[in-house]
Amino acid sequence: MNRRINLDFQTKLIKSGQLRLLAQRGQALPLGLAFIVVGMLGGLVLFNTGQVAVNKQRLANASDSAAYSGSVWHARSLNFQAYTNRAMIANQVSIGQATSLHSWADYAYTMGENAERVFGWIPFVGSFVTTFAQIIKGISTVVRPVAKGMIQVITPINEAVGIAQQAMFSSSFAATPDIVRNVAKASDSRFTADTGFTALGLTTNLNSWSEFTQEYTTEDSEDVFDRTKLINDSRDKFSSDRNWDFFDDFWVYSTPFTKHKVIREGETWLAMDTSGDEPR
């Protein structure tokens, strides 16, 4: 009975149009607007968070790039120091080679004179020995001034390399702030890199850079001795050992009771001279 009454009531409402008007009075619009406002706020928050994250990543990349560029520049400077140190050692070794060559030329010249004096009077043999001695003395006459000239040229070269080391050491530190600033600015024009290069920062960085390497002078006798040992250890065979025996166990008997053997001994090394005011 109740269900039928309700149906009859709904039928009357539909016929009168009141049920249709009642359906248009719902509360969905305010709720939808609220959702739209919340969604817009969430989108703005998400956009701002994304922008902050992107800027933060850009800042981190710019900082890493600037620090890496400055470190690479310092590394190249240290590589230059290492390579030129090795070049100076090689130049010192070449001085030893030139000295050895000069010594060998003197030896060959004296040997030619002695051979000519001893065997020059022997028929047939003397003419051969004399010609051979003249060739040796001619070669020695050319080699000796060349070897001496090498010694005189290499020493100023080492001095110039030392000056280049000083210039590179100073310029590397002075150029680092500009390199860091330019890299940071190239990453983003809004970024600057001045905080680490204030007066205090420069002083701290300079002390660290200066302590990273060490300069040796002739007054540091112990360090000079170590460098001398390093140069002597780097000698080639011709400089370190020019000893030989003529025909090994071959002996020349001048009398039944006396015998002779030709032995050649020679060596070139870098020695420290401490006789003056400063070791050399």
Q: What is the pLDDT along the chain (280 residues), one digit of tens a residue?
A: 444 445 555 555 555 554 444 445 556 677 777 788 888 888 888 878 887 787 788 878 888 888 888 888 888 888 998 899 889 888 888 888 888 888 888 888 888 888 888 877 787 777 888 888 888 888 888 888 888 888 888 888 988 998 898 888 888 877 887 888 888 778 777 777 665 555 566 677 777 777 777 777 666 667 778 888 888 898 888 888 888 776 677 787 778 888 887 777 888 888 877 777 766 6
- Global pTM reads 0.64
DSSP string, the chain: -HHHHHHHHHHHHHHHTHHHHHHTT-SHHHHHHHHHHHHHHHHHHHHHHHHHHHHHHHHHHHHHHHHHHHHHHHHHHHHHHHHHHHHHHHHHHHHHHHHHHHHHHHHHHHHHHHHHHHHTTSTTHHHHHHHHHHHHHHHHHHHHHHHHHHHHHHHHHHHHHHHHHHHHHHHHHHHHHHHHHHHHHHH-TT----GGGSHHHHHHHHHHHHHHS----TT-HHHHHHHHHHHHHT--HHHH---EETTTT--EEEETTEEE--EE----------SSSS--
Structurally, at CATH architecture level, domain 36-235 sits in Orthogonal Bundle (1.10)
Q: What pLDDT is stored for residue 5 in this prediction?
A: 47
Instruction: Give the model's pLDDT for residue 83.
Output: 92
Q: Where are the domains of the chain?
A: 36-235, 239-268
